[in-house]
Amino acid sequence: MGVYFVTNRNIVRVPADRIQSILCLVFKMLDRTSLTAREFLFLLGVLGAAAELLMLGRLHMRPLQTYLLFLWRPHAHSLDAVIPLTSFF
């Protein structure tokens, strides 16, 4: 299931190894100057899977989604289209 239940405090957490893998993925992608739309969507998918467990998790993803849709249109562009990573990140 990919979650850690803390029953005595009545909370659910993202496991530490999953957080570490997400951070590694994010830092790997931030070292680059551009991503394909497919890679960007993969990152959003990984973040979205953990977002349900974080307070306002989906809200934190919104700037990334907005940036992607500003530069890439699913109906008009290929998944292999290059998305530059600017100082926005």
Say if 65 falls within a structural domain. yes
Tracing tokens 């893998």 back to the chain, one arrives at 21
Task: Provide the residue range defining the domain that includes 55.
Answer: 4-81
Report pLDDT for 64: 92
| Count of the separate structural domains present in the chain | 1
pTM for this one?
0.81
Say if 9 falls within a structural domain. yes
Give exposure, 3-42, as e/b (b: 16+ Cβ within 10 Å): eeeeeeeeeeebeeebeeebeeeeeebeeeeebebebbbe
Report pLDDT for 1: 55
Side-chain-facing half-sphere of 64: CA atoms under 13 Å: 21
Confidence of residue 40 (pLDDT cuts 50, 70, 90): very high
Say if 88 falls within a structural domain. no
Report pLDDT for 55: 77
Average pLDDT of the chain? 88
Say if 16 falls within a structural domain. yes
Say if 34 falls within a structural domain. yes
